[in-house]
Amino acid sequence: MGKRPLLVIALIVLILFVAWLRHPGQEKAVSRTALILGTLVEITAYGEDQDLLDAAVTGAFAEMQRLEKQLSSYLPDSEISRLNLSPDPIELSGETRALISRGEEIARLSDGAFEMGLGGVKALWQIESEQPHIPTDAELQPAVSGLGPGDIVIQGSLIGRRSPEVLVDLGGIAKGYAADRALEVLKEAGVTSATINAGGDIAMLGSHNGKPWRIGIQHPRHQDQILLTLEVTDQAVVTSGDYERFFERDGVRYHHIFDPASGRPARLCQSVTILAGDAESADALATAVFVMGPETGLALIEGLPDVEGLIVTADGQLLKSAGLPWRD
Ligand code: FAD
Ligand code: MG
């Protein structure tokens, strides 16, 4: 064979290779939404095999539904509702016990700002209902007096409450855990690139076309404005804010993140965004830092490895942790 045909073949191979590099297979995306955990959940998976993506997304939603049944305080048959109805410690699944134990760790880290026994306080305010109520100090006192270290009693495989007024509510952590679990289901099904957005708790698997995911963080007072963009790979970004679930009365905003010391909405931040390796930690830390406020909250973030944060203070200042991967 002469040199020319070889050159032609080499050229064709090169052209095909460049074409493949630009379009490696046909990337598809399967994206679906569903109302779970009282919020809109969107799961998007990327890959080449449509059937695999479809089945994986179906499995991920099923996992979140399973966890809602188990962990919701809105459902009378859930493990949490059984715990809240029982005067004595009861046996819960190892999964629920482990989640509560990890929540207790965040409670310790945050000096009690994160508090899973706030169900009684939440019930008094009814922030999420059509008719919210501003409780008096006398109404709040019994609901907050029993809170603090040891209010949720873990004895071997049993979990109980120190007093009947302590009502367990996992609203500050379970959404993140459910997102982590759903991502795990996608991974086990063979998905390598995906996002789960559970009402502002965003968990990400891998990267997107080899590039980081770009997550715009909303301005807490101007819904159409983006504060900044985070560039994230294989991590979770969770925001707790006073602008999603709130009501206003006489010009005062009342929202759903409570200071366990007073039983009233925490007043030191407008929003807190946490970037962490998993959505559960990010979820719980966002709630905790929101209550702690900018100063001690930022110190907590800076003291934790692989955790970054963005805080919008009550007067609208923007505080970023040192390693936050942001751009305009
Ligand atoms: P976050 O800051 O992450 O959490 C705020 C929530 O955490 C509060 O709503 C309260 O539940 C709890 N909390 C408040 N203060 C503290 C504190 N200091 N420490 C720890 N926790 C605190 N909503 C519905 O309207 N209907 C439902 O049926 C429903 N089912 C749910 C089932 C599950 C399993 C979960 C996890 C949530 C459900 N929700 C439901 C939503 C829930 O009520 C909260 O609104 C939601 O979890 C708040 O998430 P967030 O990201 O807005 O705020
Ligand atoms: Mg939270």
Listing DSSP states for 142-172 in one string gives HHHHT-STTSEEEETTEEEESSTT-B---TT
Question: What pTM, to 2 d.p., does this model score?
Answer: 0.92
Which numbered ligand comes closest to the C-alpha of 276?
A: 2
Average pLDDT over residues 114-133: 95
CA–CA distance, 176 with 311 (Å, rounded to integer): 19
For ligand 1, whether the C-beta of 175 sits within 6 Å is: yes
Asked whether 291 lines ligand 1 (CB < 6 A), one says: yes
Q: Specify the residue for token string 């990337």.
A: 27
Kindly give the residue spans of alpha helices, DSSP state H, lying in 77-188: 79-85, 94-109, 119-125, 137-145, 174-188
Residue 16 is predicted with a pLDDT of 62
- Which ligand lies nearest the alpha carbon of 171? 1
Phi-psi region of 45 (alpha: psi -120 to 50; beta: other; left: phi over 0): beta
Going by C-alpha positions, the residue among 152, 172, 170, 177 that lies closest to residue 162 is 152
pLDDT (tens digit, 9 = 90+) per residue, 134-193?
Answer: 999 999 999 999 999 999 999 989 999 999 999 999 999 999 999 999 999 999 999 999
pLDDT digits (tens, 9 = 90+) for 242-292: 988 899 898 999 999 999 999 999 999 999 999 999 999 999 999 999 999
Buried b (16+ CB within 10 A) or exposed e, 100-118: beebbebbebbebbbbbbb
- pLDDT score recorded for residue 306: 95
